[in-house]
Structure 1
Amino acid sequence: MNFLEGASTNTVFLVFIIIMIIVMMFRPIMRRVLGADKFKIFSYDNYVNKKHKKFDWIIRITTIIGIITLGAIQISTINRGGELRWYLWPYIVIFAMIPLTESLRAYMEWKYAENRNNYKVTLLDLGLLVIITIIIFATGFFGAFDFGW
């Protein structure tokens, strides 16, 4: 899947915008199809209950500590003349955090939400994000980039 290899910046940007529109439209469409509750996109307090908020913040703080720790390890490795290791890149922690927080949300919606269809939408949304992320990184954004692996 290298159809963007050698493509102009405008073409790559257009494909990126199309993918973002698909991702952003997926949740509202699935919520309507499955009859789930509306989700406040830019709301700070999108928690099912206090327990969900507590666990979500534990994951977030652990993520911040992990990013700082992995960044320090990478810097010390570089200073000693070592090579960068992909499994120590700080964004790996972010890619681990997103499925964790969404899985926590799905569990809390399944266990405590009044509308039982909410967790299905969350799991479908998580599945779409995981699939798109894997495709983008496996193909180097369809041949537009070389990630060096």
Structure 2
Amino acid sequence: MFLIKLALFVLIVFGLNVVVKLLLKKVLKIEKEKNSFFSYNHINNLHRKIDWGIRITSIITITITNILVIVENYPNYLLLIPIFCLGLDYPVRAFFERKYSQNPKQYILTLSEGVIMLLAIVIVIQFNLFITQ
């Protein structure tokens, strides 16, 4: 039952994200950008350095949080990890898209995706959606 709920939730969030991006592209006339599916395109060298700093910070945070969960038995801390990681990654990417990209309107799509992801995490936390009995 857990996997079905998780798959349905991920599908809904993904679908909502696609619909919002399509609407924003159409309404705000944002040009389509070509990106590979699994690659992360950095805007410039500074963006790559900052992004790697965020990734390393996220790994350290995940490690410390997992230790706290195991040692101190605080399972709710696991839900804070995605908020921390998304809260760092999306604003930085949006800043570099707005400031240094050839298509500065792209930052709107990045921020909308980040907001949808954060809302999904908050909904999971608020309604205890994936708590198993």
Aligned pairs, how many?
131
Which residue is equivalent to 2:57? Answer: 62
> Hey, what's the Cα distance between the residues in 2 that align with 1:109 and 1:102?
10
Give 3-state SS (helix, strand or coil) of 1:110's partner: helix
Which residue is equivalent to 1:12? Answer: 5
Give the number of the structure with larger relative contact order, counting CA–CA contacts within 8 Å between residues 6 or more apart: 1
**How far 1:28 sits from its partner (Å)?**
4.5
Which residue is equivalent to 1:139? Answer: 127
Structure 1 moving runs of 4+ over 4 Å: 8-11
- State TM-score, norm by structure 1: 0.69
Select the structure that is richer in helix: 2
- State TM-score, norm by structure 2: 0.76
Instruction: Provide structure 2 residue ranges, at least 5 long, that are not aligned to the other structure.
Output: none
Which residue is equivalent to 2:42? Answer: 47
8 Å contact kept, 2:2–2:132: no
Q: How does 1:70-89 map to 2 (within 5 A)?
A: 70-77=65-72, 83-84=73-74, 86-87=76-77, 89=78
8 Å contact kept, 2:86–2:118: no
> Hey, what's the Cα distance between the residues in 2 that align with 1:30 and 1:130?
18
What are the Cα deviations for residues 43-92 of structure 1, in whole angstroms up to 9, with x where unaligned? 42411111111100000011111212222333333xxxxx42523x3x52
**How far 1:130 sits from its partner (Å)?**
1.7
> Hey, what's the Cα distance between the residues in 2 that align with 1:33 and 1:49?
28
Which is further off, 28-37 or 127-136?
28-37
Structure of larger gyration radius: 1
Q: How does 1:71-110 map to 2 (within 5 A)?
A: 71-77=66-72, 83-84=73-74, 86-87=76-77, 89=78, 91-110=79-98
